Amino acid sequence: MKKINILESNNHLPLSNLTYLRTNEEELDQLRGYVYRHLNVGSTDEWEVFLTVMNWVHQRFDHDGINSGEHLSSRDILKEAEAAKSFRCAEYAKVTSDILLALGYVTRVVRVFSEAADYGGIGQSHVVIEVWSGHLKKWLFLDPQFNSYATVNDTPLSYEEFSCSFQDASIHVLSINGPSVKQYEGFIKSYFGYVSTSILLNQQVVDLFLHVRSERQLLAFQFMQLSHAIFTHDTDRFYADPTQTTILFNYKDPVIPEDIITTYGLKEHKDFENNMHLFAVEPHFTLTFHTIHPGHETFEVRLNESEPVQISGNSVDWNASEGLNQVEVVSINQKGIKGSETKIRIGYSGD
């Protein structure tokens, strides 16, 4: 009797079930056209692109902690900046995040809070971004208002990593005329209480807060309401890979035990033990693929020794061969940037 076994696999249910918010494609297309007319982003090195975009946005306008561009698209913010308008940290983050999204990267706007965010007075939060590195397989923190980021041993950090390894981290400030590293260090360490990002939960926009140094849950922010906030200690989920593909196996010719029992008149335990080969399934599958990020919905699949093929939709039929088999799949976004690879090695052999 032939048996089918998974020999090696990194296939799993994604740690994150977060539905990420994403600026609509029409706005991103318009923004992309604007950026291409003003900035050379032709590098193939992702970290160089991240820093180039952050540095460029940082130079577009001055900081104004009052003037909100919340009602504006990122392209409109940049156009108003041409007329010497200034904006908040939130607009630095929004524009940087949207440009990187338009270029095909996975990003999110992140708010960071002090431990006294509810009743500590004004200035209890700051807005930065995190961008997913396909090369490093992790989220990286960038602060566009201050043109800054942080590393340990030359490896860029997420915001949570930065806060937890603050004493060992190196802070980098790219602007010559900006704050010193010492000044930025004094500023940013005030915001190690929580880190949050907006997600969709049953079609409701909510703010997901990760506890960093504060254990309290909050119902207020700067004396005002804090609506639709949920809190978690689950760092792995908050910082999960948003581009990992999950593979589901569906047998095309499933075994129906009742039919076999009736056909062969199986009644006793020994009848089953002597006829287990009748129940052995044939490895004929429909594979379906799923990712949690809305920008990664096209898939490149490689089955055994075949060449990788981009498929339409999210499923493909496949029959395992006798011996060793391998299924590999990556998600690809509209700009051709690939997500993390899921690989499964399967053995099919026996008498």
Residue 276 has pLDDT above 90, yes or no: no
The pLDDT tens digits for 260-273 are 788 878 887 787 77
Q: What is the C-alpha to C-alpha distance for residues 264 and 206, in angstroms, rounded to an integer? A: 57
The reply to whether domains 2-14+243-350 and 19-238 share a CATH topology is no
pLDDT band at 249 (very low <50, low <70, confident <90, very high): very high
Question: What does R_g of the chain's alpha carbons equal in angstroms?
Answer: 25
CATH of domain 2-14+243-350: 2.60.40.10
Running DSSP on this structure, what letter comes out for residue 245? P
Asked if 128 and 93 touch (Cβ cutoff 8 Å), the reply is yes
Query: Stretch 114-125: mean pLDDT, rounded?
Result: 96
Out of 199-208, 221-230, 254-263, 322-331, which region has the weakest mean confidence (pLDDT)? Answer: 254-263
Count of beta carbons in the 10 Å neighbourhood of residue 178: 15
Q: What are phi and psi of 319, to 5 degrees?
A: -110, 125
* Measured distance between the N- and C-terminal CA atoms of the chain, rounded to whole angstroms: 5
Instruction: Tell me how far CA of residue 193 lies from CA of 111, 141, 196, 210, 223, in angstroms.
Output: 11, 16, 10, 9, 17
Per-residue pLDDT at 201: 83
Q: Give every CB contact of residue 136 below 8 A, 6+ residues apart in sequence.
A: 155, 156
Query: Stretch 60-75: mean pLDDT, rounded?
Result: 95
The pLDDT tens digits for 278-307 are 777 789 999 999 988 877 889 999 999 899
Q: What is the C-alpha to C-alpha distance for residues 216 and 193, in angstroms, rounded to an integer? A: 9
CA angle, residues 294, 91, 205, in degrees to nearest 5:
40
The pLDDT tens digits for 315-338 are 999 999 999 999 999 999 888 899
Q: What is the C-alpha to C-alpha distance for residues 261 and 268, in angstroms, rounded to an integer? A: 10
Per-residue pLDDT at 61: 97
Per-residue pLDDT at 271: 77
Q: Kindly state the tokens that stand for 81.
A: 């900046």
The pLDDT tens digits for 27-40 are 999 999 999 999 99
The owner of tokens 């088999």 is: 325
Per-residue pLDDT at 259: 82
Instruction: Tell me how far CA of residue 7 lies from CA of 83, 163, 268, 287, 322, in angstroms.
Output: 61, 39, 33, 18, 14
Within the chain, residue ranges assigned H as helices are 25-38, 46-58, 74-82, 89-102, 159-164, 181-188, 235-238, 257-264, 269-274
Q: Give every CB contact of residue 347 below 8 A, 6+ residues apart in sequence.
A: 4, 5, 7, 323, 324, 325
Per-residue pLDDT at 20: 74
In whole numbers, what is the pLDDT of the chain averaged over residues? 92
Q: What is the C-alpha to C-alpha distance for residues 207 and 109, in angstroms, rounded to an integer? A: 11
pLDDT band at 347 (very low <50, low <70, confident <90, very high): very high
Query: Stretch 139-161: mean pLDDT, rounded?
Result: 98
AA identity, residue 282: E
- Higher pLDDT residue, 291 or 123? 123
Asked if 322 and 348 touch (Cβ cutoff 8 Å), the reply is yes
Q: What is the C-alpha to C-alpha distance for residues 158 and 147, in angstroms, rounded to an integer? A: 15
Q: Kindly state the tokens that stand for 84.
A: 């010497």
Domain ranges for the chain? 2-14+243-350, 19-238
Q: What is the C-alpha to C-alpha distance for residues 13 and 5, in angstroms, rounded to an integer? A: 19
Residue 45 has pLDDT above 70, yes or no: yes
Asked if 144 and 58 touch (Cβ cutoff 8 Å), the reply is yes
pLDDT band at 17 (very low <50, low <70, confident <90, very high): low
**Strand order, beta sheet including 342-350:** 2-9, 342-350, 323-332, 298-303, 309-311
Q: Give every CB contact of residue 182 below 8 A, 6+ residues apart in sequence.
A: none
Measure CA 113 to chain center.
21
Query: Domain 19-238 belongs to what architecture?
Result: Roll (3.10)
Query: Stretch 226-248: mean pLDDT, rounded?
Result: 94
Out of 64-68, 99-103, 269-273, which region has the weakest mean confidence (pLDDT)? Answer: 269-273
Per-residue pLDDT at 43: 81
Per-residue pLDDT at 16: 67
Per-residue pLDDT at 312: 85
